[in-house]
Amino acid sequence: SNDYCTGDRESVTIDDLKTFRQLHSRCAGHPEYHWTSGIETTTGPLGNGLATSVGMAIASKWLGATYNKPGFELFNFNAYALAGDGCFQEGVSAEAASLAGHLQLDNLCWIWDNNHISIEGNTDWSFTEDVATRFVAYGWNITRVTDANDLPKLQSAFSVARKENNRPTLVVVDSHIAWGAPTKQDTHGAHGAPLGDKEIAGTKEFYGLPPDKTFYVPDGAYDHFRSQMAANGGVARKSWEAMFAEYKTAYPDLAEQIDLMNSRQMPSDWESKLPTYPADPKGMASRISNGKIMQAVAEACPYFLGGSADLAPSTKTRLEDAKFGDFMPPSTGWGDWSGRNFHFGIREHAMGAIMNGMCLSKLRSFGSGFFVFSDYMKPVIRLSAIMEIPVTWIFTHDSIGVGEDGPTH
């Protein structure tokens, strides 16, 4: 993919860091997909990053079930999302967590930076529920690390998450905002505003850094990070590329589909498979004609998949051929991980974020609902437009007249 191509420049330079949170900076306060190499998604409003990660975990399950073959485990990645207190207050994260637990997405791990601080002050002013117990009710595995600086405990928590075989994992990490800042640690003054020169100097002293040097990188830091990346991601990438080269020989048709996905292309002849409709005085309801066209698109494009917020019979968006199946945990007996029909439940906002996550993983995702319910989905529709990803949004029942369900529908 060219999504992360940076040409001959480093993704983020020291000069980029110096323009943090400034107009046109590659270091925006909320990082932007496309704009800065290595950013997986534009998270946007709080909670959307968490919900988007559910789509990525779903994509891993689907890709693995569809393309993995004996000796060729191409797709088995886990999805990790780091979130703050505010993310767990947003409704979209609750919708997404509910669906992730229902789908038994054991390849999903959320890390909660639990520092009890938001913009206005201590979160106890507005947020006192037992989040861990709520997630137990969703069907999640819960682990807790009581000190964010305890690296062995963090490693143990992630190891537990990787061993889980039918539940997503929430790692609750108790932390201190602005750790080491002399007067602003554990205060909302460190949440969204600069610490100030005096506080920064004191913090640097706490960490053993020269207090009078700005944008200072200690000797060896670059080499350490580069060697770690080369020994981990670099080795893994080369291994994957070698395996995929062999896969191309063994399964050329499937490999071609993967190449098309990674370059965000549709199969070359997909438009020739679309039905045409002669002029008809009576006409055909657009949701019905669209539903028929979707069947043709699904036949032509093996990675076109999606669902609705419990409205497929009305929006006519179910992929009808039995071979398309339903995306469900195999243990349910109702489908498997290769199914192309998704049941998002009545979770419009989460559905949209999950669609974005699936599309960011190079699938051609679609989702449908009644037009008026797009009001629930404006943040995620906007994010898909900002990221310029080819999500298919389908809305029906958009008549200016009042239907049988009244003006709300």
CA–CA distance, 307 with 99 (Å, rounded to integer): 13
CB-based contacts of 378-381 (< 8 A; 24+ apart in sequence): 379/44, 379/45, 379/48, 379/92, 379/349, 379/352, 380/48, 380/51, 380/349, 380/352, 380/353, 380/355, 380/356, 381/352
**C-alpha count within 13 angstroms, C-beta hemisphere, residue 131:** 27
The angle formed by the CA atoms of residues 42, 147 and 203, to the nearest 5 degrees, is 75
Query: What is the full DSSP assignment across 147-213?
Result: -TT-HHHHHHHHHHHHH-SSS-EEEEEE--TTTT-TTTTTSGGGTSS---HHHHHHHHHHTT--TT-
Distance of CA 222 to the CA centre of its chain: 29
**C-beta atoms surrounding 101 within 10 Å:** 20
Mind giving me the DSSP string for 26-85? SS-SS--TTTSTT------STTHHHHHHHHHHHHHHHHHHHH-BTTB------EEEEE-G
Sequence-separated (6 or more) residues with CB below 8 Å from residue 184:
178, 190, 195, 199
Tokens of 117: 């601080």
Residues 227, 233: Cα–Cα separation, whole Å:
10
**Which of 32, 73, 348, 404 is flagged as catalytic?**
348
Residue 262: alpha-carbon gap to chain centroid: 17
Q: What three-state secondary structure class fits 282?
A: coil
Task: Note if 348 is an active site residue.
Answer: yes
Question: Across-strand partners of 326?
Answer: 341
Buried b (16+ CB within 10 A) or exposed e, 252-271: eebbebbebbeeeebbeeee
Cβ atoms of 53 and 78 within 8 Å: the answer is no
β partners of residue 144: 172
Select from 84, 1, 91, 77 the least CA-distant residue to 37.
Answer: 1
What φ, ψ does residue 132 adopt, rounded to 5°? -60, -45
Q: Which residues are catalytic?
A: 348
